[in-house]
Every structure is written in structure tokens, then in C-alpha cells.
Structure 1
């Protein structure tokens, strides 16, 4: 796959997290189901930026709670 060697078992999800791989690369290499380019791009984005998205959603929740607070 043109990436660092895999020394232990790894989930396809964790391979897609690697910057140099995409869902399409992993799907082709391991015979996984392919989807439309739009869907595969959405999968890549959500997996790659999962941590950032979670942090942002946590911040949104905190702001909502602050907005609901009566002063």
C-alpha cells in the first residue's frame, strides 16, 4: 500500500486514518465494497478528522449549556 509496514493485526478503519491512505486504497487492497466517490470521500473525511469533529461538537455542547444558563 506504500505505507509503513503493518506488524500486527489492524482494522481497515485504522488504515484509513493514515494520511497516505484513503478508503478507496484500502477497499481495493483488501477486496472491500466500493461506493460512489462522494460516499468514499465522506468516509475519508469523517475518519481522518474524527478527533477534531468530536472536539468541535464538545465545544458546541459547552456553549449551548452556557447560553441556557440564567444569570
Structure 2
């Protein structure tokens, strides 16, 4: 994923989504909380609520160069 911070999957071409949970929140969970979170992610409806569009591409070199050309 770090290869240029792509917005789409290089294999299937689908839009990349990520979980909407801060890293520090996840690492502070105990085993029971992580298992509960994992079960929520296994449910399609709940997974949609836990997901967001991939946004790290905004930090990529190509994105910054594109925006600098527009200004």
C-alpha cells in the first residue's frame, strides 16, 4: 500500500477503503475488545459503518505535485 499511496487496488482495481479507527485506539484495546472489534468487521453492515475511503494518498508525492501544478 505504501507504493505511491494508490487510491485503487493494483490487483482488482477497486477503490481502497480503510478502517475508521485511530491506530492508538486499536493498540490500546485488550484482547476481548479486539475480538469484539474483529467480529464487528466480519459483519458486512457493521463493516460499512466502520470503514472510510482511503485518504493517505493526500500525503503522496504524486498528489502534492498535482496540487502544486494547479495553483
Mark yes or no: TM-score above 0.5.
no
In terms of fraction of residues, the more helix-rich structure is 1
Q: Highest relative contact order (Cα 8 Å, sep 6+), 1 or 2?
A: 2
In terms of fraction of residues, the more strand-rich structure is 2
Normalised by the length of structure 1, the TM-score is 0.31
Normalised by the length of structure 2, the TM-score is 0.31
